Amino acid sequence: MSPRRLVIEADGGSRGNPGPAGYGAVVRDASTGELLAERYEYLGVATNNFAEYHGLLAGLRAAVEIDPSAYVEARMDSRLVVEQMSGRWQVKHPDLRPLVREGAGLASSFGPGHVTFTWIPRERNVDADRLANRAMDEGTGKPLGLKASGSSAGSATELAPSNRIVGWMPSAPPTTLVLIRHGVTTFTIEKRFSGSGDPPLIEQGRKQARAVASRLLDRAGIDLIVSSALSRSRETASIIASALGVPVEIDDDLREVDFGLWEGLTFPVVEERWPRELALWLGDTSISPPDGESYASLQHRVRTAQERIVNRHRGETVCVVSHSRPIAMFALNLLDAPLSSLYRLHVDNTSVSELDYYDDGPSVLRQFNDTVHLGGRAGTT
């Protein structure tokens, strides 16, 4: 007989990061989809990553109890946990290393190559997400829908500052992302949909890039630049890199959302040609333009880049040169705000936004859409 195949779905969340935390995990028969086990637990005050790892461990333990000779696929919406458990990313945080070792030990108990780790979008991890929120609800006595903040396992909307945790002080410098939108192009001036298309900077855009480069020279401390692959961002990044003397890396996940058939057109033209499609797109972030990409898809792509950059450059300051909607999505993801909030976040060309990620504490939006260097007003968090 062929070995049994099991699927683990695991998740964890923290309402505050750190804050009240819990995990959830389910185990299913891969062939029939039958639910074989459910696990969830409240963890007290902990970080998102700590809770996510505990969800994975609970799922692995449950799978061992069901069939220690099975082939197992562990599915999670945490890119960090999946990449670290797969051995592709380093584990730099000391609190996570024992959890990774325990997970590796449980995985090896099934046999060599019997356990694989797979990233899945958040909307495909609903059962583990539900259990993680149930653990937090029962542990705190505050259901997520009534009052909560900063949960990676749910859709909390109250954005209370997570650094209200009494007595918390950072034990190490944060990982800082300095977000810069590219300079203007002809599409910017003409108010055209500008996504996956590749219009170059115009001279005004280059002037803006030089101005923000001077601003960053005064700031100092930037270790490197990570840029979208699109030319308007790459040229902006190159101008900044020349002024700062730092290297540039390219990350294609930082590209702008794809507007499909609407690319290069003005809003009135799109409204005339695709009135129904435009209305649906404006009303539902899961709907994409014809042949394009939805904002829900963009969110997952940006979250992947966000986690990758922070994990690879712990304790460093990284300048991220990207586009309007990805930069807004960085802020939205950090705040764990509803996806519909994207429409309320305006990002000017070559504006500066700054995000801090603490390994042992909250992630903090320091500033947003600051355009002082262009003669504009400073943005606020």
The secondary structure of 223-285 as a DSSP string is -EEEE-SSHHHHHHHHHHHHHHT--EEE-GGGSPPP-GGGTT-BHHHHHHH-HHHHHHHHH-T
Tell me: do 45 and 110 sit in the same domain.
yes
Question: What secondary structure letter does DSSP report for 354?
Answer: E
The pLDDT confidence band at residue 380, using thresholds 50, 70 and 90, is very low
Tell me: do 85 and 218 sit in the same domain.
no
Query: Of 366, 356, 368, which Cα lies nearest the Cα of 173?
Result: 356
User: What is the predicted pLDDT for the residue at 320?
Assistant: 98
The pLDDT confidence band at residue 52, using thresholds 50, 70 and 90, is very high
Active-site annotation holder among 93, 182, 323, 373: 182
Look at the chain and report how many structural domains it folds into: 2
In the chain, % of residues over pLDDT 70? 89
Tell me: do 109 and 221 sit in the same domain.
no
Tell me: do 326 and 200 sit in the same domain.
yes
User: Quick check: 378 pLDDT over 70?
Assistant: no
For 257-275, what is the mean pLDDT? 96
The pLDDT tens digits for 136-186 are 988 876 554 333 333 333 332 222 333 334 344 555 788 999 999 999 999
**Given strand 35-46, what is the order of strands in its sheet?**
35-46, 19-29, 5-14, 71-76, 115-119
The DSSP element (H or E) to which 181 belongs, if any, is strand 175-181
User: What is the predicted pLDDT for the residue at 157?
Assistant: 26
Annotation says 256 is catalytic? yes
For 204-217, what is the mean pLDDT? 95
Tell me: do 250 and 368 sit in the same domain.
yes
The pLDDT confidence band at residue 254, using thresholds 50, 70 and 90, is very high
How many residues are present in the chain? 381
Tell me: do 227 and 263 sit in the same domain.
yes
Tell me: do 182 and 118 sit in the same domain.
no
Calpha distance 243→37 (Å, rounded): 57
Tell me: do 283 and 242 sit in the same domain.
yes
Calpha distance 128→39 (Å, rounded): 9
Tell me: do 214 and 354 sit in the same domain.
yes
Question: What secondary structure letter does DSSP report for 204?
Answer: H
For 183-210, what is the mean pLDDT? 95
CATH number, domain at 229?
3.40.50.1240
Annotation says 9 is catalytic? no
Calpha distance 109→101 (Å, rounded): 12
| Residue type at 18 in one-letter notation | P
User: What is the predicted pLDDT for the residue at 171?
Assistant: 58
Backbone angles phi, psi at 245, to 5 degrees: 70, 40
The pLDDT confidence band at residue 60, using thresholds 50, 70 and 90, is very high
Calpha distance 195→281 (Å, rounded): 15
Does a structural domain hold residue 354? yes
The pLDDT confidence band at residue 16, using thresholds 50, 70 and 90, is confident
Query: Of 84, 65, 50, which Cα lies nearest the Cα of 8?
Result: 65
The pLDDT tens digits for 351-375 are 999 999 887 667 899 999 999 878 7
Question: What secondary structure letter does DSSP report for 330?
Answer: H
Q: Which domain holds residue 44?
A: 5-152
Last residue of a domain, one of 117, 152, 187: 152
Q: How many CB atoms lie within 10 A of CB 13?
A: 32
Active-site annotation holder among 256, 277, 293, 307: 256
Query: Of 203, 197, 289, 309, which Cα lies nearest the Cα of 249?
Result: 309
The pLDDT tens digits for 299-341 are 988 988 888 888 788 889 999 999 999 999 999 988 888 898 9
